Structure 1
Amino acid sequence: MASHQVFSSFLFLLCLLQSIRVGYPATFTIANKCTATIWPAILSNAGIDQRPATTGFALPPGESNTFSVPTSWSGRLWGRTLCSRDSTTGNFSCLTGDCGSSAVECAGGGAAPPATLAKFTLNGTGGLDFYNVSLVDGYNLPMLVVAEGGTGGNCTTTGCVVDLNNGCPSELKVTASDEGVACKSACEVFGEPQYCCSGPYATPDTCMPSSYSQFF
Structure 2
Amino acid sequence: MAKSQSLTFLFLLLLISFLASVYNSIAGAKAASFTLTNNCGYTVWPGILSGAGTAPLSTTGFVLNSGESRSVDIPSSWSGRLWGRTYCSTNQSTSTFSCVTGDCGSGKIDCSGSGATPPATLAEFTLNGSGGMDFFDVSLVDGYNLPMLVSPTSSTASSGGNCTATGCLVDLNGLCPSNLKVILSDSGGQSVACKSACDAFGKPEFCCSGAYGNPNTCKPSSYSQIFKNACPRAYSYAYDDATSTFTCPTGVNYIITFCPSNPGQKAGENNPQAAGVPLINDSMVFLGPASGITLGKTWRFAAVTSAASLAAFWLQF
TM class by shorter chain equals 0.7 to 0.9
CA offset digits 1:84-116 (Å, max 9, x no partner): 000100000000000000000111010000000
Give the letter aligned to residue 131 of structure 1. F
Residue 201 (structure 1) aligns with: 212
> Going by fraction, where is helix more abundant, 1 or 2?
2
Structure 1 residues 19-168: aligned runs within 5 Å: 24-49=30-55, 51-151=56-156, 154-168=162-176
Residue 15 (structure 1) aligns with: none
TM-score (norm 2): 0.59
Supply the distance in 2 between the matched residues of 1:137 and 1:179 (Cα, whole angstroms).
20
Supply the distance in 1 between the matched residues of 2:126 and 2:93 (Cα, whole angstroms).
40
CA offset digits 1:47-75 (Å, max 9, x no partner): 113x2111101111111011101111110
Q: Secondary structure of 2:163's partner?
A: coil
Residue 14 (structure 1) aligns with: none
Q: 1:115 to 1:214 in 2, by over 3 A?
A: same
- State which structure, 1 or 2, has the greater radius of gyration over its C-alpha atoms: 2
Structure 2: runs of 5+ lacking an equivalent: 1-28, 228-317
How far residue 150 of structure 1 moved from its aligned partner, in angstroms, is: 5.0
Q: Secondary structure of 2:198's partner?
A: helix
Residue 275 (structure 2) aligns with: none
How far residue 207 of structure 1 moved from its aligned partner, in angstroms, is: 2.1
When structure 1 is superposed on structure 2, of 198-207 and 27-36 the one drifting more is 198-207
CA offset digits 1:179-210 (Å, max 9, x no partner): 11000111111111121122232333322322
Give the letter aligned to residue 173 of structure 2. N
Q: Secondary structure of 2:183's partner?
A: strand
Answer yes or no: is 1:174 the counterpart of 2:185. no
CA offset digits 1:113-139 (Å, max 9, x no partner): 000000000000001011000011000
Q: Secondary structure of 2:77's partner?
A: coil
How far residue 156 of structure 1 moved from its aligned partner, in angstroms, is: 0.8
Supply the distance in 2 between the matched residues of 1:112 and 1:104 (Cα, whole angstroms).
14
When structure 1 is superposed on structure 2, of 141-150 and 192-201 the one drifting more is 192-201
RMSD: 1.4
Q: Secondary structure of 2:61's partner?
A: coil
Give the letter aligned to residue 187 of structure 1. C
**Correspondence for 1:186 among 197, 203, 210:** 197
Q: 1:126 to 1:150 in 2, by over 3 A?
A: farther
Q: Secondary structure of 2:53's partner?
A: coil
Give the letter aligned to residue 196 of structure 2. S
Aligned pair count? 193
Higher relative contact order, structure no. (Cα contacts within 8 Å, ≥ 6 residues apart): 1
Q: Secondary structure of 2:98's partner?
A: strand
Supply the distance in 2 between the matched residues of 1:46 and 1:150 (Cα, whole angstroms).
31
TM-score (norm 1): 0.86
Give the letter aligned to residue 29 of structure 1. T
Deviating 4+ runs (over 6 angstroms): none
